[in-house]
């Protein structure tokens, strides 16, 4: 499992670093709430630092390694453990997950909603984290990638659905974070929404 996590981390960074002109990201260096490691493998960081823009997720098929399907369904992706989720999620969201989306089976907790850690960008006034969220149900696939911005102490500032493949909601769109911390959401190769993340981490529609 440890080798799989390492392979996945390296592979994911390669995925987002190829194919387009890149703009270097300067990650700030300071202690913050997102400095977390995998519980089982404490020498492996939970979130990789993104080092360049753009960051993009497509709605391609499983052969597209930049697609929602590949990034979500890859065998190398492991959910965030409850101990780390408790530190990352607002209290009400964590409690809703445990009480309404999880059930005890033998000695394990099985959840119909899981969170996965992807990359982060550490700015002087905020931290951006990217999550993949997977829900299970009779409707088919329901996968969402979120950007969430936080204060260094872990207080949530803003969040946005960055990319989505949802048979449940009948919504399918792609996302790209580009230079200047601007976000473009696209569907069928047409831009459907634009956002900007300001210097204090607030995500605002343009």
Global pTM value: 0.89
Tell how strand 108-111 and strand 102-105 pair up.
antiparallel
Tell how strand 48-49 and strand 102-105 pair up.
unpaired
Q: pLDDT 10s digit of each residue in the chain, 206 long?
A: 444 454 444 344 444 444 578 999 999 999 999 999 999 899 999 999 999 999 999 998 888 999 999 999 987 888 999 999 999 999 999 999 999 988 876 666 789 999 999 999 999 999 999 999 999 888 899 999 999 999 999 999 999 999 999 999 999 999 999 999 999 999 999 999 999 999 999 999 99
The span from the CA of 60 to the CA of 161, in Å, is 17
User: Which of 75, 80, 72, 59 lies closest to 7, judged by CA?
Assistant: 75
CB 130 within 8 A of CB 141: no
Q: DSSP labels for 111-141?
A: ESEEEEEEEEEE-SS-EEEEEEEEE-STT--
């Amino acid at each position: 499992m440890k080798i799989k996590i390492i392979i996945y981390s390296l592979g994911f960074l390669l995925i987002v670093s190829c194919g387009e002109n890149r703009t270097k990201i300067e990650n700030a260096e300071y202690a913050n709430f997102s400095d977390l490691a995998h519980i089982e493998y404490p020498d492996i960081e939970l979130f990789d630092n993104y080092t360049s823009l753009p960051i993009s997720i497509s709605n391609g098929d499983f052969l597209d390694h930049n697609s929602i399907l590949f990034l979500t369904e890859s065998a190398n992706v492991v959910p965030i453990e409850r101990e780390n989720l408790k530190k990352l999620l607002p209290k009400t969201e964590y409690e809703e997950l445990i009480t309404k989306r999880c059930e005890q089976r033998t000695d394990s907790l099985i959840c119909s909603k899981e969170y996965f850690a992807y990359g982060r960008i550490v700015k002087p006034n905020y931290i951006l984290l990217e999550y993949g969220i997977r829900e299970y149900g009779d409707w088919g696939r329901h996968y969402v990638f979120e950007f969430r911005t936080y204060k260094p102490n872990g207080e949530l500032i803003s969040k946005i659905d960055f990319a989505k493949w949802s048979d449940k909601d009948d919504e399918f769109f792609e996302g790209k974070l580009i230079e200047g911390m601007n976000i473009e959401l696209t569907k069928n190769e047409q831009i459907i929404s634009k956002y900007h993340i300001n210097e204090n981490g607030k995500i605002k529609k343009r």
